[in-house]
Structure 1
Amino acid sequence: MTNHNFINQISSETPILISGQTASGKSQLALQIAEKKDCVIVNADAIQVFKNWRILTARPSISDEAVATHMLYGHIAAQIEYSVGHWLRDVQKILSIYPNPIIVGGTGLYFSSLTNGLIDIPDIPAQIRLEAKNRIQSEGFENLIAEIDPETSKKIDKNNPMRIQRAWEVMKATGRGLASWHRETPKPILELKNCKKILVDGDASIVNNRISSRFDQMLDNGLLEEASKNFSTWDEKNPSSKAIGAKELMAFLNDDISMEQLKEEVIVATRKYAKRQRTWFRSKMKSWIKLN
């Protein structure tokens, strides 16, 4: 079936979810559907929310945004934390106005939280995060594990440092274990059975080639100029600094690496990320319609 025929068969009377690894073509598919069905497009990529990296994060271009309404792209300042909870609340507001949007992106946690529900744990105070970090550095993880409630301790992966730290922080901040919070998971904002679900599952070799050519295109489109605008205010602790290629661009502008090294490091890192995405999507989205 051609893309044209597939798009014609899609109803605009239900929400459309489109996911897939980076450089798979999911954004182009979303734009084609939006143009044909007159739908708004909602971002489901955790890095494309930041306003300071349009080119690096492959956000839709200005010309793309002229074709269809795009929402939750580039609306967050570089230094602001934007959690999955923030995203869900924003999506819920959009759904109250546009009940059948196209939601597209590569952040699996966004989709799983949207369709499975997300526990609304209060934000962890900065001083507790700092205390956890300092204790891990001075004591390791064993003492933190001992202070986690027994029910949560049995369930978390003790080989995953981030899970241990998160469980300890929640216990410290709220006085309740993660397991207790999980029992109160609310109903999902959208149920999968009521959505059109599309997974753009590209061949690995094709995606890898696209990643390479896309980075060259980013450079042609002004990536170094974009990086230069971020250089004076660069802080690796900013949430937006997690964008793949951001720290490498700063290293290049600081004359720490060559252009050849920059290209190689960013392309390799992006391909590794695409592989992780591919593995996750194939495991978690088995019921989704697969396109390549």
Structure 2
Amino acid sequence: MIDLDQIDPARHLLIAGPTASGKSALALRVAQAQGGLIVNADALQIWSCWRVLTARPSPGDEAAAPHALYGHVAPGVPYSVGDWLRDVAGLLDRRLIVVGGTGLYLTALTQGLAYVPPIPPAIRAEGDARLAAPGGLARMVADLDPATRARIDTLNPARVQRAWEVLTATGRGLADWQADTPPPLIAPADAQRILVTADRDWLADRIARRFDLMMQQGALDEVRAMLPQWDPSQQWARAIGAPELTAFLRAETDLPTATERAIIATRQYAKGQRIWFRGRMRDWQPLAADAKNTRHD
């Protein structure tokens, strides 16, 4: 367990790590000992419709220390990393404990985020259609400017579509826009940055046990409540486990299969997080996951 004497209470604290590695429990422990506002940096935990399914802090934890930007966005409302940064900017009058696993949020917070003009709905719709077509991802990758293609994860459909939409809408590649990045909201020198690391097999077991617990706590009921407005193209529908449990509720598969697929999807998500952290956050202070810090994500 980390010694809290190693945490500087005079600076912001940023805690990153893969899903199920114990970040939230660590953040709560620091907040209770030192004070500070716990701020969500998980793009899946922003949605009001998902508490259990995304392992948001429990009502008890939220009562034990102040929390912000959890479950504050309604389904169907567009929300970007730029929106998140604007929300965080409104909280900087106090010491923040920013915790989450969305690497894009955390790097934008500490490295700055380039302004990109809003994408017209017609181009977004065209992007959706192109991506859904057979071979659409490969064609979108081929259409990108070389500089952007070299910088993004070309196996990530959401990242590729975003880059394609920016190039189509503005005539400038995403890499070109990013070259004009302003100063970060929280400079590295103004925060202590911790990256929770975990053994792959230990984390895989933790993910499976946590998903079983989610099912006991009502994850299926959360998905059932959203079934009438289910739309897989929506941001809120990307919550890990939601597509798999929706398939069960629509009688497209059985519950054991849906559960296993959701667990596999979570493990794949964690792998993607680790790749981001290794590539973009090498200068963060590593901290081995501790079983005592794993009550939540």
Does TM, normalized by the shorter one, top 0.5?
yes
Contact 1:145 1:168 in 2 (8 A): no
Residues 128-187 of structure 1, C-alpha deviations (whole Å, 9 max, x = no match): 1223445674996769967x7xxxx23122793856654443244334443442332111
Q: 2:256 maps to what in 1? A: 260
> Which structure would you say has the larger RCO, counting Cα contacts within 8 Å and 6 or more residues apart?
2
**Alignment deviations for residues 113-132 of structure 1 (CA, whole Å, 9 cap, x no partner):** 11111111111011012234
SS at match of 1:42: strand
Q: Match for 1:273 among 248, 269, 272?
A: 269
- Please state if 1:200 is matched with 2:196: yes
**Residue 93 of structure 1: how far off its partner (Å):** 1.0
CA 196–144 in structure 1, closer or farther in 2 if over 3 Å, else same: closer
Moved more, 257-266 or 162-171: 162-171
Which residue is equivalent to 1:79? 76
Q: Give 1:16's aligned amino acid.
A: L
- Structure 2 match to 1:89: 86
Partner residue in 2 for 1:251: 247
Alpha-carbon shift at residue 54 of structure 1 (Å): 0.5
The SS at the match of 1:232 is helix
Q: Secondary structure at the match of 2:194?
A: strand
- State the superposition RMSD in angstroms: 2.4
Counterpart code for 1:21: P
Residue in 2 aligned with 1:110? 105
User: Normalising by the residue count of structure 1, what TM-score does the alignment of the two structures yield?
Assistant: 0.88
Cα distance, 1:184–1:286 mapped onto 2, change above 3 Å:
closer
Cα 1:203–1:164, aligned 2, differ >3 Å: closer, same or farther? Answer: closer
Percent of matched pairs sharing the same residue = 45
Aligned to 2:170: 174
Deviates more, 1:154-163 or 1:224-233: 154-163
The answer (yes or no) to whether the contact 1:15–1:194 under 8 Å persists in 2 is yes
Q: Secondary structure at the match of 2:91?
A: helix
Q: Do residues 156 (structure 1) and 148 (structure 2) align?
A: yes
> Which one is further off, 278-287 or 216-225?
278-287
Contact 2:140/2:160 (<8 A) preserved? no
Distance 1:228 1:134 in 2: 27
User: Structure 1's 122 and 205: CA in aligned 2 closer, same or farther, altered over 3 A?
Assistant: same
Following TM superposition, by how much is the alpha carbon of 1:46 offset from its aligned partner in structure 2, in angstroms? 0.5
Q: Counterparts of 1:213-292 in structure 2 under 5 Å? A: 213-292=209-288
With structure 2 as the length reference, what TM-score do the two structures score?
0.87
- What amino acid maps onto 2:272 in structure 1? R
Moved more, 170-179 or 213-222: 170-179
**Equivalent residues of 2:140, 2:164 under 8 A apart:** no
The farther-off stretch of 120-129 and 273-282 is: 273-282
Residue 295 of structure 2 corresponds to which residue in structure 1?
none
Give CA deviations for 1:89-116 in whole Å, capped at 9, x if unaligned.
Answer: 1111111x22x21000000011111111
Secondary structure, counterpart of 1:94 in structure 2:
coil
Cα distance in 2 for partners of 1:107, 1:237 equals 19
Structure 1 window deviating more from structure 2 (159-168 vs 183-192): it is 159-168
Query: Of residues 121, 125, 132 in structure 2, which corresponds to 1:130?
Result: 125
Distance change (3 Å), C-alpha of 1:165 and 1:265: closer
Tell me which moved more, 212-221 or 101-110: 212-221
Output the CA distance in 2 between the equivalents of 1:250 and 1:134. 22
Q: How does 1:58-77 map to 2 (within 5 A)?
A: 58-77=55-74
